[in-house]
Amino acid sequence: MGHHGQMDLTREQVIGHRIAAQQLDREPSARRAVTDAAILDLGVQDSGRDGASWALTNRGVALAGPEALAEADELTLVWSLRVSPHFYRRAEVVEVMTAVSPFDDADAAKRLVGAAKPMATAGVAVGDAIAEVARTMRAAVSEPTVKGEVSTRVTQELPGDYAIHCRPCNADHVPESLFRMAALFGGLELAPATSPPVLRRIPGWPRRPAGVAAEPDRAAEHLQPIRGYLRLLGPATPAEVAGFLDTTAGVVTEHWPQDAVEVSVGGKKKWMLGELTEPDRVVRLLGPYDLLVQGSDRELLVPEATHRKALWPTLGRPGPLLADGEIVGHWRPRAKGKKLDLEVELWRSRAVTKARLGEQAERLAAHRGLGLGAISSSS
């Protein structure tokens, strides 16, 4: 499992390393290209209000607001890991497709979270099913088309085995996770800032059989998700990486990087890629789905169980508040007319000064095209 070097790391060192590796301590610069962010290697999840644009802004990419990201042609938005929408560098999208491909049918079935059952019943191999849906979707999207319309066309074209009965829609259609996973393998992207999502063909997509790529390990190293996790969210165990990818620890272990370095965190064996780094001291209002809080080791990041419950509820996550290397609480926005009010919950009093919090709140309000209203904090 890689090199042996029993370096003993504290949780503070681990969190600090992730903050620096993810460039959360960079100051904004107008000279920085929109493609200049390490987290684009792993994809920047665009869930929740201004998810990806705020994640990039927090890492020093100067974006005036979500519209600026939607108009940035150097990036592409696709459904990828955990069938969630992620931004990547457009120039790398074909490599990304290879990198995020499941390693085999069992891996694909696991990543489809339940949607593989009807395939198994029908005796259709998961890889074949993804290819079939991808091919049918591509044919259905000769021009930009809204998601529901694509789903209807695809369900009509495919054999009945592919559809499941969906209670919310009261209709039979291809399972959501299979539909989403297949899109990229059919060369389809999402038009940013469209709701419901509009699908369109990725310009310059190579002529290739639709479906997953044969050897994900052959993709550019920096785009391989296992490596990306170990670099940006390491140190980690195979099980933790598997949790992030929606797959099994067995699959991850089989494709474990040879150059991963073994360290010890609180007496537990973990692995990382890259040098240990230390961040500058910063305050950041992170988005609910920011990469920093997407790791599988939530206990390490937020040791207190009640705090974890508050940060990761089943529905309606707040934004985590990062101050000087620790998550110290969370925040929720309240837009009132042209003003943005913030409700901040601090887990311990004086975890952050009013001035430093105010500065970040100003940035968030400006990002949303609003003025800053009141900041109310309770601890």
Token duo for residue 160 = 């009945």
- Under the banding of pLDDT at 50, 70 and 90, the label for residue 40 is very high
Residue 264 exposed, middle or buried by CB count within 10 Å (0-12, 13-18, 19+): middle
pLDDT at 190: 98
How far is the C-alpha of 214 from the C-alpha of 269, rounded, in Å?
31
SS3 265: strand
Residue scoring higher pLDDT (134 or 334): 134
Phi, psi of 12 (to 5 degrees): -60, -40
Q: How far out from the chain centre does Cα 51 lie?
A: 10
How far is the C-alpha of 97 from the C-alpha of 181, rounded, in Å?
10
For tokens 């091919």, name the residue: 135
Residue 33 exposed, middle or buried by CB count within 10 Å (0-12, 13-18, 19+): exposed
Nearest in space to 320 (alpha carbons), one of 21, 54, 140: 54
- Under the banding of pLDDT at 50, 70 and 90, the label for residue 5 is low
pLDDT at 166 over 80: no
Q: Is the pTM of this model over 0.85?
A: yes
H-helix or E-strand spanning residue 172: strand 171-173
* Contact by Cβ (8 Å): 157, 137: no
> 224-255: per-residue pLDDT in tens?
999 999 999 999 999 999 999 999 999 999 99
Determine which of 28-32, 142-146, 287-291 has the lowest per-residue pLDDT on average. 28-32
pLDDT at 6: 74
Cα dist. 264→24, 123, 237 in Å? Answer: 24, 45, 11
- Under the banding of pLDDT at 50, 70 and 90, the label for residue 4 is low
Determine which of 95-104, 246-255, 285-294, 331-340 has the lowest per-residue pLDDT on average. 331-340
- Structural domain spans, the chain: 3-216, 283-378
> 298-325: per-residue pLDDT in tens?
999 999 999 999 999 999 999 999 999 9
pLDDT at 272: 98
Helix axes 225-232, 238-245, angle to 10 degrees: 120
The residue type of 372 is: L
Q: How far out from the chain centre does Cα 65 lie?
A: 19
* Contact by Cβ (8 Å): 33, 68: no
Q: How far out from the chain centre does Cα 359 lie?
A: 26
- Under the banding of pLDDT at 50, 70 and 90, the label for residue 118 is confident
How far is the C-alpha of 193 from the C-alpha of 77, rounded, in Å?
10
How far is the C-alpha of 28 from the C-alpha of 119, rounded, in Å?
48
pLDDT at 67: 95
Nearest in space to 244 (alpha carbons), one of 126, 109, 114, 100: 100
How far is the C-alpha of 101 from the C-alpha of 113, rounded, in Å?
15
pLDDT at 169 over 90: no
* Contact by Cβ (8 Å): 266, 278: no
Mean pLDDT of the chain: 94
Q: Mean pLDDT, to the nearest integer, of 84-99?
A: 98
pLDDT at 167: 76
